[in-house]
Structure 1
């Protein structure tokens, strides 16, 4: 009996040490950006870039990217905006956006909410940025379902002009946004793109 308990404890210790090593390696990579890599030309501006995570995303979804952008001097993380499940907004950061290439991380508490809800919340965020932070233009980065939120946001009148958009792993031809199911890959992919197009 004690032998089995000792073996289980040994396995648990090994798993904990392995997880700690992986986490440590991840943070080491963030802290030690490759010295030979540096941006060719960095254009600095005051227009903030909003980062919208994907389905079931969280602060880690874009967190490492934002940390790396700041570490290399490309951008500075200025705000974190948390959207509660009821749509209440919490802004964490300075009262003014004075950083060069400021980034704003948008976090949805209900990270699997309907795209239309996310679009409504994003509209509220941009309206507050215009009113309270004197923002006149924005950039948008959306990952996965967040990219669809960005695209749907662009289909309606916006409080401020959108200067640039970046879509990462955007399921633009996927009729089922969210969990992977058999219907996600509903159209045969050819060399010229999907055989059937969505909308």
Structure 2
């Protein structure tokens, strides 16, 4: 009788142990599948593209001007591969880091050692040098652009000078933040001095705005998508404290109906001050969605 009791207890113990092992394995498999689903969902939020996105700071800007936006893109899983292109005072380009083969949505942070260069044509040539370097090293054919402040005018001059050069990588998408397309307050424009109409045409055209009117023809038929971000402190100046809304919004008239798409996005309040725009989480979220959001 005692032997039968011991045998029964042993059988029950074995059954319990097997049941616990089975439950544990099923739970582990379930958690694994859940993590895989979460991972797939995260990846599906963003496109998978090898087109690099180039960030360019403004006047007196540094790597810090781009760091927050880039880090937000990494944090959200839109990109993992980030390198830096340092442009020397004589326009030589040094790449720090390496773009991995078939990297998803890679980012290139451009740093101009002469960050107070006021000649937009020289800045445009330096930007071209970065593209040529990337083309030589990685055979890139297209690129996206994100610029802040004067970086946008430097890029506009790049497109004016080289936008029709088919031997260079071609622009895919561009994000302009606080663009100085038709002037800078207290430099060549007074507060509330210049206005724009519904088409973005300014009441007065400063240099080099007039020559940039040729951009309409350069952008035409290239299927370029444009996001133009600007801000208003809501203090009566109709500006971000440095650049008037009219100057930023005048990009619309420069491009006309030539881009595949054109969108203006306005931010308001102190967190939208000129230098704070590239530290603004909402701005970062919008540009990440614009550049890499999966519309499917």
Question: Could you say whether these structures have the same fold, taking a TM-score greater than 0.5 normalized by the shorter chain as the test?
Answer: yes
Aligned length: 158
Pair 1:42 & 2:46 matched: yes
- Measured after TM superposition, the shift of residue 190 of structure 1 is 5.7
Q: Does the Cα contact within 8 Å between 2:57 and 2:150 map onto a contact in 1?
A: yes
How big is each residue's C-alpha offset from its partner over 1:65-85, in whole Å with a ceiling of 9 and x where there is no partner? 101110111123421011111
- What is the CA–CA distance in structure 1 between the aligned matches of 2:75 and 2:57, rounded to whole Å? 21
- What is the CA–CA distance in structure 2 between the aligned matches of 1:182 and 1:50, rounded to whole Å? 28
The equivalent of 2:84 in structure 1 is 80
- What is the CA–CA distance in structure 2 between the aligned matches of 1:196 and 1:102, rounded to whole Å? 39
Pair 1:143 & 2:160 matched: no
TM-score, normalisation: structure 1: 0.71
- What is the CA–CA distance in structure 2 between the aligned matches of 1:102 and 1:95, rounded to whole Å? 7
Q: Does the Cα contact within 8 Å between 1:96 and 1:133 map onto a contact in 2?
A: no
Q: Does the Cα contact within 8 Å between 1:78 and 1:99 map onto a contact in 2?
A: no
Q: Does the Cα contact within 8 Å between 1:46 and 1:102 map onto a contact in 2?
A: yes
Pair 1:169 & 2:178 matched: yes
Q: By percentage of residues, which structure has more helix? A: 2
Pair member with larger Rg: 2
TM-score, normalisation: structure 2: 0.49
Structure 1 residue runs of 5 or longer lacking an equivalent are 1-37
The equivalent of 2:203 in structure 1 is 195
Structure 2 residue runs of 5 or longer lacking an equivalent are 1-41, 211-296
Aligned to 2:108, the other structure's residue is in SS state strand
Aligned pairs (5 A) from 1:34-183: 41-94=45-98, 96-113=100-117, 114-155=119-160, 156=162, 157-158=164-165, 159-174=168-183, 180-183=185-188
TM-aligned CA distance change 1:191 to 1:127, over 3 Å: closer
- What is the CA–CA distance in structure 1 between the aligned matches of 2:106 and 2:47, rounded to whole Å? 12
